[in-house]
Structure 1
Amino acid sequence: MSLLPDSIRARTTIAVTALSLLFLSMIGASLDFLALDRGEAAVYQEAQRAATNWVGTFKPGSTPLPAGEGRVNLLQLVDSHGHVELASPAAARLRPLGTAQPPPDNRIEDQVVCPRHGRCLMVTAVRLPPLETKEIWHGVPHFVYAGMVQPPLLASHLLEWLTAGGVLLLTGLIAWGNWWVGGRTLRTVEGIRSTMAEITASDLSLRVPEPHGHNEFANLACTANQTLDRLEEAVRQQSRFASTTSHELRTPLTGLRTRLEEAMMYPGDVDPRQAIQDSLLVTRRLEMIVDDLLVLARLRAGDPAAHEPLDLGDLVEDEVTAMAGGPPVDMRVARGLIVRGSRIQLVRLIGNLLANARRHAESRIEVTAGRDDEYAVITVTDDGDGIAPADRERVFERFVRLESGRRREPGGSGLGLAISRDIALAHDGTLRVEDSPYGARFALRLPLIPAAPHRPLSLGTSPAGGDSDPSADAATSG
């Protein structure tokens, strides 16, 4: 179990505060040590200067009393036995200021002397040069002590307390600043969370607030709104699909029920065989709709199908040959159009396009299979009424049948083209309606397997219900 709070804002503030406290403490300790060191050095330099100046006045037979300099008002001349021979007025009644007796090779020594009663002293001991010692005191070592009462800043822990207080104050300001900035930064996230919490399946119109700028939170809010747009559109399409599906299923079911009730109520007026045949037609249409819905659901769910290398030209020829009834088919198929895909799904796609062309064609259908750069391209063109530009995308929606299609064959499921486009998308391809000088032209593009060989087109004409010779190769001119 973690001792840290769950809030990102609190965790961030704690982490920043801890790091700031550590960093500022290190800086404060360094500055405190540097200030104390420089303060002590300044005091000892001043004491050394005062002692040196006094020693400079010593002459044989003349040893003037020290007057002190600046803050250094304690000066004493002490022999090697600790007897005070001369002293400044402030140090006249004091015992020797220090106990240090520097050696000849290191004539200056600093020390802090703290008497039992009173404040501590900072003392510099200077050993007199051998010449003065010999001429004035007949070789007896003498020492000059120069010192002063230790300044309060050095004698107490005031500087440490001031440093600690400054560190804590700065750390507190950093913690507060981080908490405030974190709150403003996470306000966008909270706005997204609260808005998302208010969104329900019945109302997807709400959108999260988008902050100004191009930072990560603005991108997050923009992405969330784009996701909500797609979700709202998906729910709207799902609602339309459910409504349309209900209508498409209810209509044949209502007709079937009416037909059966009529046969029961008026058995003498209804031919039982005809009633059964009509009922079978309705059930076949219902079965076709349900099957297409299942296929569409699997495609939309992304259920994987086994993919294998396939010759798209062979599939086209097989489907054209198997197509029974309807106008003749002019076919131009290139060899070596190798794609990777599901045979069952691609056969269904090609069959749907051919069936659609057969329903709308007046006298003939044109089918081509070729290549365009890295794609295999199949076009199916009929010479019917064509599709208006405004309807070229709408025909791929579920249960959409144009008026011409309803007049020609009202019994279709209305899902063939929707399934065909989903199959194309599942194979990383496209299916769209293209411009045509007559009728409607559907163009399917699928990525070719690399290094597929290029071979000439196969020309053939398949009359309705007749055979074609798909193996006959012939040169074509553009």
Structure 2
Amino acid sequence: MGGTCRSFRPYSLRARTTLGVAGLALIFLTAIGAGVDFLVLNRVQAQIFDEAERVAVNWGGSLQPGSTPQPVPKTGIDLLQLVDSHGRVVTASAAAAGRQALSTARPPADDRIQDRTECSDRGECVMLTAFRVPQLETSELRPVEPRFVYAGMAQPPILAGHRLQYLTAAGVLLGVALAAWVNWWAAGRSLRPVEAIRKHLSDITVSDLSLRVPQPAGCNEHARLVCTVNQTLARLEEAVKLQRRFAATTSHELRTPLTGLRLRLEEAVLYSDVDPRETIREALSITGRLEAIVDDLLVLARLRAGTPAAHEPIDLGALVAQEAAAQAGGVPVHVHIGHDVHVRGNRIQLIRVLNNLLANARRHAGTVVEVTAERVGGQAVVTVTDDGDGIAPQDRERVFERFVRLDDGRRREPGGSGLGLAISRDIVQAHHGTLLVEDSPRGARFALRLPLQREATARADPPRDLRDIGHHLDHLDHAEQS
């Protein structure tokens, strides 16, 4: 589905952000437009009524007894009428001449001024102020008969229709469209490098993991993303190489005993002179070797998959002394233990490391094995030294690879799996330590270094880069559990 996505689809990030921005812009601009319309209309209306009141009061106050001068408008308030209590027009401005009374409003004495909007049957509206002429003046003109002044003007188009609302709506839609277009353009420009990364990643397949995404200049988010992607690809490439090499080596190591087992069983079936008991004993021996290889592979797979193990405080010195004392018979083991060598770790896994190192040293030693456990520079250091032939410098890293067995090791233990030291190093690395072969005056010297308990507690578990190595052995793990 990812290959058919288009940027204008609703589920694309660009489209979703554009729709979101457009929706927010519509809400805010609509609220602003409605507020502006209200303020504009209210302001225009207030100005007209204020001016009409001023004109009505001034004209009404200028009326003299015995005379009713015709008003001459000097502002936009061009409709002026003086009306008696019966609604008859006494005098009017030129614009209002010949018209009926502009309004039927009759303001009372205690509320002399009223603002009104009067509309005729033809839809023509007039905004006016009705002013009651004070009683003193009306009594001089015509006793006890009130007079009223109407001052106003035709309602302006901005108030008469919905032109302002239409213009505001058009402005809001234009603003929303502009905001959406700007966001669409900005989102497209921002996501263009991401699309380029996607295209480069789509060209990378499992058969060729050597390709990398071009690194852009600078140190922005896109550059950091590309850097992380390339680092992940490098780790993935290395993991795939290790997995392929592991699978090839494993199949070879398993094929050899399986071929031998099949050969023994075929001989027992084809030849009657073959002793069945001897065949069964040999088959059991080969099966035992296969079982040991599979067990070691399962342990290695769990370690490489990053399966967490429970850690606890451990007196490493006491553990070393205990495991050395358990090595009965054979080459003697001399132990030298320092004080307060405490670490945090998984006891079963560390016992396996110590047993592997002790068994390996006793297998190659001539007369004695020396073991030490002490604190050195904030670390717990355990050394296992034999007085055998030693390990050549060029082979000191090879011995930790899977299924690697030197000639001397094959001669001394033909049935070994070649996984003991590989498992030991993985266990030590899972405990944030190191396991190396160091220089020694005679024989081989294995040095195990682990952080002391305080440092081990403060150190966070780093992510394992090759968690997926060994996942192809999961079915073996399930078989073991079942």
TM-score bucket of the superposed structures, by smaller chain: 0.7 to 0.9
**CA shift in 2, pair 1:52/1:304, >3 Å:** closer
The question of whether the paired residues in 2 share the 8 Å contact of 1:376 and 1:448 is answered with: no
In the alignment, which residue of structure 2 is the partner of 1:357? 361
**1:89-111 Cα deviation digits (max 9, x unpaired):** 11111111122222333322111
In the alignment, which residue of structure 1 is the partner of 2:233? 228
Question: Is 2:336 the partner of 1:332?
Answer: yes
Shift of 1:283: 6.9
In the alignment, which residue of structure 2 is the partner of 1:13? 18
**SS in structure 1 at match of 2:359:** helix
Q: Which of 78, 83, 90 in structure 2 is aligned with 1:78? A: 83
Shift of 1:368: 1.7
Tell me the number of residue pairs that the alignment of Structure 1 and Structure 2 aligns: 446
- In structure 2, what is the Cα distance between the partners aligned to 1:44 and 1:298? 89
In the alignment, which residue of structure 1 is the partner of 2:171? 166
**SS in structure 2 at match of 1:100:** coil
**CA shift in 2, pair 1:370/1:78, >3 Å:** same
Length-normalised TM-score, structure 2: 0.76
Shift of 1:122: 1.3
- In structure 2, what is the Cα distance between the partners aligned to 1:80 and 1:387? 129
In the alignment, which residue of structure 2 is the partner of 1:270? none
**SS in structure 2 at match of 1:77:** strand
Structure 1 residue runs of 5 or longer lacking an equivalent are 265-272, 453-478
The question of whether the paired residues in 1 share the 8 Å contact of 2:436 and 2:447 is answered with: yes
Shift of 1:148: 1.2
In the alignment, which residue of structure 2 is the partner of 1:182? 187
- In structure 2, what is the Cα distance between the partners aligned to 1:276 and 1:89? 134
Question: Is 2:90 the partner of 1:123?
Answer: no
Q: Aligned AA for 2:320?
A: V
Shift of 1:44: 1.7
- In structure 1, what is the Cα distance between the partners aligned to 2:287 and 2:228? 46
The question of whether the paired residues in 1 share the 8 Å contact of 2:130 and 2:148 is answered with: yes
In the alignment, which residue of structure 2 is the partner of 1:102? 107
Question: Is 2:442 the partner of 1:431?
Answer: no
**1:277-308 Cα deviation digits (max 9, x unpaired):** 99998776555444422321233234566766
In the alignment, which residue of structure 1 is the partner of 2:249? 244
In the alignment, which residue of structure 2 is the partner of 1:39? 44
Work out the percentage of aligned pairs sharing the same amino acid.
60
The equivalences for 1:385-404 within 5 A come to 393-401=397-405
**1:412-461 Cα deviation digits (max 9, x unpaired):** 433221100222244x34132275564534124165499x9xxxxxxxxx
**SS in structure 1 at match of 2:116:** strand
In the alignment, which residue of structure 2 is the partner of 1:459? none
**SS in structure 2 at match of 1:99:** coil
Shift of 1:17: 2.1
Question: Is 2:374 the partner of 1:366?
Answer: no
- In structure 1, what is the Cα distance between the partners aligned to 2:216 and 2:114? 69
- In structure 1, what is the Cα distance between the partners aligned to 2:104 and 2:216? 74
The question of whether the paired residues in 2 share the 8 Å contact of 1:384 and 1:440 is answered with: no
In the alignment, which residue of structure 2 is the partner of 1:88? 93
**SS in structure 1 at match of 2:350:** helix
Shift of 1:166: 0.7
In the alignment, which residue of structure 2 is the partner of 1:381? 385
The question of whether the paired residues in 2 share the 8 Å contact of 1:292 and 1:416 is answered with: yes
**CA shift in 2, pair 1:154/1:263, >3 Å:** closer
- In structure 1, what is the Cα distance between the partners aligned to 2:367 and 2:41? 107
Q: Aligned AA for 1:442?
A: A
- In structure 2, what is the Cα distance between the partners aligned to 1:389 and 1:38? 95
Shift of 1:251: 6.0
Q: Aligned AA for 1:292?
A: D
- In structure 2, what is the Cα distance between the partners aligned to 1:381 and 1:39? 102
In the alignment, which residue of structure 1 is the partner of 2:55? 50
In the alignment, which residue of structure 2 is the partner of 1:346? 350
Shift of 1:345: 2.8
**SS in structure 1 at match of 2:108:** coil
- How much is the aligned-residue C-alpha RMSD, in angstroms? 4.3
In the alignment, which residue of structure 2 is the partner of 1:471? none
Q: Aligned AA for 1:431?
A: T
- In structure 1, what is the Cα distance between the partners aligned to 2:113 and 2:215? 74
**1:47-89 Cα deviation digits (max 9, x unpaired):** 2232233234322334322110222211111122212111111
**CA shift in 2, pair 1:5/1:436, >3 Å:** same
**CA shift in 2, pair 1:332/1:58, >3 Å:** same
The question of whether the paired residues in 2 share the 8 Å contact of 1:51 and 1:145 is answered with: yes
Length-normalised TM-score, structure 1: 0.76
**1:365-423 Cα deviation digits (max 9, x unpaired):** 33122346886442223456766777665543323456776787676433221100222
**Worse-matched range after superposition: 346-355 or 181-190:** 181-190
- In structure 1, what is the Cα distance between the partners aligned to 2:76 and 2:396? 101
Q: Aligned AA for 2:31?
A: M
**CA shift in 2, pair 1:75/1:357, >3 Å:** same
Q: Which of 316, 323, 326 in structure 2 is aligned with 1:319? A: 323
